Amino acid sequence: MQVFYIYILYSSSSDRYYVGYTSDFRKRLLEHNDTSKGKSSFTRRNGPWELKCVLDCGQSESEAIKIERWIKNQKSKNLIKKIIAGIPLYGPVANLVRVSI
């Protein structure tokens, strides 16, 4: 069974965060740091990226998408920093389990 994750990347050179979902966060990190043309323009322009946090969303891709959108819709760098720090939160991220990276 496939497990889906929410991952948070950080680029110190641009002081930006990126939130995404995937079933293979290590592969996605490599893809985000690939500067080849045709890759995601946001991450290509703003890298290099480091993996800051991974959250287990279980086997539901639709749940992972819902949580990713919820985090992005908050438009809050402070929320992302709290997630990374492991501070107890509310909403759809409240019960997610951190994954060792």
Q: Show me where the domains of the chain are located.
A: 4-98
Average pLDDT, the chain: 90
Please give the single-letter amino acid code of residue 66: K
Rounded to whole angstroms, how far apart are CA atoms 82 and 76? 10
Angle between helices 77-85 and 61-74 (to 10 degrees): 130
Closest to 47 measured CA to CA, from 20, 13, 22? 13
Given a cut of 80, whether residue 86 has pLDDT beyond it is: yes
Q: Tell me, which fold does domain 4-98 have in CATH?
A: GIY-YIG endonuclease (3.40.1440)
Per-residue confidence band for 43, with pLDDT thresholds at 50, 70 and 90: confident
CA angle 42, 94, 19 (to 5 degrees): 5
Q: Taking residues 9-35, what's their average pLDDT?
A: 95
Rounded to whole angstroms, how far apart are CA atoms 9 and 52? 5
Q: Taking residues 43-64, what's their average pLDDT?
A: 93
Given a cut of 90, whether residue 55 has pLDDT beyond it is: yes
37 or 89, which is more confident: 89
15 or 43, which is more confident: 15
